[in-house]
Amino acid sequence: MNPFFKAATAAAVIALFSPQTVLAAASDYVFEPVVAEVRNGPGSEIAVKLIHKPSGKAVEGAIIIRTRLDMSPDSMEAMTTTVEPTTEITPGIYKFRADFTMAGGWALKLQAKVQGEPETIVGTVVFTAKK
């Protein structure tokens, strides 16, 4: 194999497996709060929208595969609480019931699958729980 061809092949392989190539598609999606200020206390309703950034459209039918709710915005990452999806269906909006245990900033960390997108969508939405 001549050296030039060898280098070109190596470059093509790097391009194929580069993490940036993979991230480009998943990063087309962003989670946003429907309302960022929420009620502090158990059973508080919170909701997020999933937006496909290039089109600006809400994404329907995403499957939320993982959630974590913690107080990392207030430097209390170890403080977590339960968060459960509700059965209520509004297209493009994903609703949860959260048991807030403290007023302040809470981060809802999400992983989701979207049809036609092989990569897992990862996002963080910050809510402020108020009395």
122 is a site residue for Cu ion (CB under 5 A): no
Q: Which of 59, 71, 108, 114 binds Cu ion (CB under 5 A)?
A: 71
Q: Which of 102, 124, 126, 130 binds Cu ion (CB under 5 A)?
A: 102
List residues bridging with 125 in a β-sheet: 108
With contacts defined by CB under 5 A, name the span among 30-38, 55-63, 69-77, 115-123 that binds Cu ion. 69-77
Q: Which residues contact 99 (CB under 8 A, 6 or more apart)?
A: 41, 42, 43, 44, 81, 82, 83
Q: Which of 30, 58, 76, 93 binds Cu ion (CB under 5 A)?
A: 76
DSSP strands (E only) in the chain: 29-33, 37-39, 44-52, 57-58, 63-71, 76-81, 83-85, 93-98, 104-114, 117-130
With contacts defined by CB under 5 A, name the span among 46-54, 64-72, 83-91, 116-124 that binds Cu ion. 64-72
User: What letter represents residue 2's amino acid?
Assistant: N
Between residues 34 and 107, which has the closer beta carbon with respect to Cu ion? Answer: 107
From the CB of 79, what's the least distance to Cu ion, in Å?
4
With contacts defined by CB under 5 A, name the span among 10-18, 54-62, 67-75, 92-100 that binds Cu ion. 67-75
Please tell me whether residue 82 adopts helix, strand or coil conformation: coil
**Distance, CA of 19 to CA of 10 (rounded, Å):** 16
Q: Which residues bind Cu ion (CB under 5 A)?
A: 71, 76, 79, 102
